[in-house]
Chains A and B, each alone.
Chain A
Amino acid sequence: MTDTASHHNPRDLGLKPLQTVDGTPLKVSLARAKRRARIRAVLLVMPLFLFILVTFFIPVFSMLMRSVENPVVVEVLPSTVEQLANWDETSGEIPDDDVFNALAADFKVAAVDKTAGKVGRRLNYEKSGFSSMFRKTARKIKKLEPPFKEGIIDIDKKWADVDYWRVLKRESREYTDSYFLTALDFTYTDDGERVLKGDDKRIYIDLFARTFWMSLLITGICLVLAYPVAYLLSTLPVRSSNLLMILVLLPFWTSLLVRTSAWIALLQQEGVINSLLVGAGVLDDANRLAMIHNQTGTIIAMVHVLLPFMVLPLYSVMKTIHPSYMRAARSLGANPYTAFVRVYMPNTVPGIGAGAILVFIIAIGYYITPALVGGQSGTMISNFIAYHLETSLNWGLAAALGAVLLVVVLILYFVYDRIVGVDNMKLG
């Protein structure tokens, strides 16, 4: 308070609302101060928010959009697409001369721009044969004279096949669901209906199932191994528990590549474990165990990598459970087993939930360890996404698979946020 405030007559207070020094009502002034504080808080967060938006959010979002974007056919064959709108794909007849004339015109431009191959590759994801058909047509279109319909069919017989025209018309939309259909093992019937592929032709559903199952198994093993360790750590005196904690924290801080190469050194056919077993006479030299480049190797290495993520949340929950609970249960007549199952375990459920979801989230999107030690049977969905990004270059499918994976992860993240709260996440 400054001196200027003293001219207020206390009797006025009953008549006028409370005011600040400069005469504005206290309510307004308070609201203004609060708004200013809010703006200040937002301004502090804003730089990071924009940074994450530009360097992370927009890139990931625009990548995921590739799973539905389908610009190639419309861009390269614009007049064909326009003419195809009048064609009835259920008629069983191939399109008429107008469409073929438009196709010839589009192809003449595409042959010069060298864009026909791009469309062929794109359509080849939907039906094999398109790629060669487009390459051939682009090569010979320059010398082609009307009538175009007969001429084009002459170049490649597939132009007379109504199935190819159906696919072409379907994929002439600017947005497509075909990547997602492939990612979920659906396919189109000849009538354009979407159906699940036959059991023997399913790739990605099996892969998702395997990724899910492996992550579940890894989470389960981590829980079984972490629970006793966390219990021991939380009940030992501080000095010895700190010492043992190092054994959990050192792997946590050690490079992932270091741990993966350690497991390669241990598990491979000529590696430490096999050699020890052969040396001890347990194993025959010819029958060395295949523990790596398969599912077993992936699971062992990933359990090792993720175990600290399970121990730490369990430990921090168990630390809060007072030993007197167990003593009380015992004094009331419970045997050690009952006391543990009925009193101790229910108290650790938040820790189990937090650790299990965290480990599962990390496991389901894991890439490096399966790529290095997974071989054929141990690869997971991330490895297939990488394959489509780097090798097959089917980016739309990679994006669709990524989107499905991301949806699963975000659901789990939401659950985690509900149980633990992201702001309560503990590191180390």
Chain B
Amino acid sequence: MSLPAYAGKLETLWYYLFRVICGLILFFLIAPIVVIIPLSFNAVPFFTFTKEMLAFDPAGYSTKWYADFFTNLNWQGAVKNSFIIAFFSTIISTTLGTVAALGLSRSEMPAKSLVMAILISPMIVPLIISAAGMFFFYTEIGLASTHLGVILAHAALATPFVVITVTATLVGFDQSLTRAAATLGATPVTTFFKITVPLILPGVISGALFAFVTSFDEVVVVKFIGSYEQRTIPWAMFSGIREQISPTILAVATLLVILSIGMLTAVELLRRRNEKMRGLSPG
């Protein structure tokens, strides 16, 4: 958007004012995330910039909150649980979600929109309702307070994201490619692994990343159906904020921001690769 040549004075003024407004809104979006990074190096347990920090006095800074995070068993257990639960629920949801998306994108699939609506529902139903339902049900069948219970619950919550991303990738998928493979003598299994998988892989991986983040960031369900043994990072942060908030939480938050920058980069690269591949494929 560049300023048109015929713009009057008022329009020119508005043009620059508009950019300032947008700048402020983007600042609102990003500032809270940026602010916690220096705050996590605070030498004193306050949530504000001390005089020493503002004067860039080294005495005002410290890495002790990071040291606390890396030595505290409460946090280390949470990190381990978070990765275990997110890893397995990602595997389950990505496998089931991808296979279902393949079926859903076939034109022969009956009652497609109804089935889709049901499969997407874990994303739509408010988390507190899902958490309550799972709490009662999983307690009855003995899966409450187990890792398996939390993994299954998170997998259920994450599948809609996989279904949506993989279905979106399959929109541009050329079915004649699989037919071509079949006429050339490939079995359905070979066709799937040699033709379909490489083509939809970017969608599958970004779906898997979404699933991973869904589980990694989820706190309501794990709070209801898990116990201390299943505590995840968000669980520990949630109870940390509720009980007594220490700057260790900001140190954890900073590390999580770095993790999400990595995730964002990966998804962006995949999206571009996917667009490139679709640009090349016919139809």
Interface residues of A (CB under 8 A from B): 34, 37-38, 40-49, 51-52, 55-64, 66, 225, 228-229, 232, 235-236, 244, 246-251, 253-266, 268, 270-272, 274-275, 304, 307-308, 327, 330, 336, 361, 364-368, 372, 382, 385-386, 389, 395, 398-399, 402, 405-406, 409-410, 413, 417, 422-423, 425-428
Instruction: Please determine whether B36 and A423 come into contact, CB atoms closer than 8 angstroms.
Output: no
Instruction: Please determine whether B125 and A229 come into contact, CB atoms closer than 8 angstroms.
Output: no
Which secondary structure dominates where chain A touches chain B?
Answer: helix
Give the CA-CA distance A427 to B267 in the complex, in Å.
11
Q: Does B208 contact A (CB under 8 A)?
A: no
Instruction: Please determine whether B106 and A405 come into contact, CB atoms closer than 8 angstroms.
Output: no
Give the CA-CA distance A148 to B39 in the complex, in Å.
72
Give the CA-CA distance A408 to B89 in the complex, in Å.
29
Among A51, A59, A229, point to the contact of B133 (Cβ < 8 A).
Answer: A59
Which of the listed residues A43, A259, A261, A330 has the most CB atoms from chain B within 10 Å of its own CB? A261
Among A261, A264, A417, point to the contact of B117 (Cβ < 8 A).
Answer: A417
Question: What does the 1/0 interface line of B139-181 toward A look like (CB < 8 Å)?
Answer: 0000000000000110111010101110110000000000000
Among A250, A251, A261, point to the contact of B249 (Cβ < 8 A).
Answer: A261
Residues of the A chain whose Cβ atoms lie less than 8 Å from the Cβ of B238: 257, 368, 372
Among A38, A64, A266, point to the contact of B35 (Cβ < 8 A).
Answer: A266
Q: Does B242 contact A (CB under 8 A)?
A: yes
Instruction: Please determine whether A45 and B100 come into contact, CB atoms closer than 8 angstroms.
Output: yes
Instruction: Please determine whether B100 and A44 come into contact, CB atoms closer than 8 angstroms.
Output: yes
Residues of the A chain whose Cβ atoms lie less than 8 Å from the Cβ of B25: 225, 228-229
Residues of the B chain whose Cβ atoms lie less than 8 Å from the Cβ of A250: 30, 33, 257, 260-261, 264
Instruction: Please determine whether A38 and B264 come into contact, CB atoms closer than 8 angstroms.
Output: no
Q: If A232-B1, A232-B19, A367-B126 touch, does A247 touch B30 (CB 8 Å cutoff)?
A: yes
Q: If A37-B106, A47-B96 touch, does A275 touch B18 (CB 8 Å cutoff)?
A: no
Which residue of B is nearest A230, CB measured?
B22
Q: Does B88 contact A (CB under 8 A)?
A: no
Instruction: Please determine whether A271 and B133 come into contact, CB atoms closer than 8 angstroms.
Output: no
Instruction: Please determine whether B127 and A365 come into contact, CB atoms closer than 8 angstroms.
Output: yes
Instruction: Please determine whether A262 and B130 come into contact, CB atoms closer than 8 angstroms.
Output: no
Give the CA-CA distance A417 to B153 in the complex, in Å.
25
Interface residues of B (CB under 8 A from A): 1, 4, 6, 11, 14, 18-19, 21-22, 25-26, 28-30, 32-33, 35-36, 39, 46-49, 92, 96-97, 99-100, 102-104, 106, 108-110, 113, 115-122, 124-130, 132-138, 152-153, 155-157, 159, 161, 163-165, 167-168, 206, 210, 213, 216-217, 219-220, 224, 233-234, 237-238, 241-242, 245, 249-250, 253, 256-257, 260-261, 263-264, 267-268, 271
Give the CA-CA distance A240 to B117 in the complex, in Å.
37
Which residue of B is nearest A336, CB measured?
B11
Residues of the A chain whose Cβ atoms lie less than 8 Å from the Cβ of B257: 250, 254, 258
Q: If A38-B109, A270-B48, A428-B271 touch, does A45 touch B115 (CB 8 Å cutoff)?
A: yes
Residues of the B chain whose Cβ atoms lie less than 8 Å from the Cβ of A330: 4, 6
Give the CA-CA distance A336 to B268 in the complex, in Å.
35
Chain A's nearest CB lies how many Å from the CB of B10? Answer: 9
Among B18, B116, B138, point to the contact of A228 (Cβ < 8 A).
Answer: B18
Among A42, A255, A361, A417, point to the contact of B216 (Cβ < 8 A).
Answer: A255
Residues of the B chain whose Cβ atoms lie less than 8 Å from the Cβ of A361: 124
Which residue of A is nearest B134, CB measured?
A59
Q: If A247-B30, A251-B29 touch, does A63 touch B132 (CB 8 Å cutoff)?
A: yes
Give the CA-CA distance A268 to B35 in the complex, in Å.
14
Chain B's nearest CB lies how many Å from the CB of A42? Answer: 7
Instruction: Please determine whether A270 and B46 come into contact, CB atoms closer than 8 angstroms.
Output: yes
Give me 12 A-to-B residue pairs in the complex whose CB atoms sit less than 8 angstroms apart, sorted by A's number: A41-B110, A48-B97, A228-B18, A232-B22, A247-B30, A255-B217, A257-B237, A257-B241, A271-B48, A304-B28, A304-B32, A365-B126
Instruction: Please determine whether A402 and B128 come into contact, CB atoms closer than 8 angstroms.
Output: yes
Among A55, A386, A389, point to the contact of B156 (Cβ < 8 A).
Answer: A55
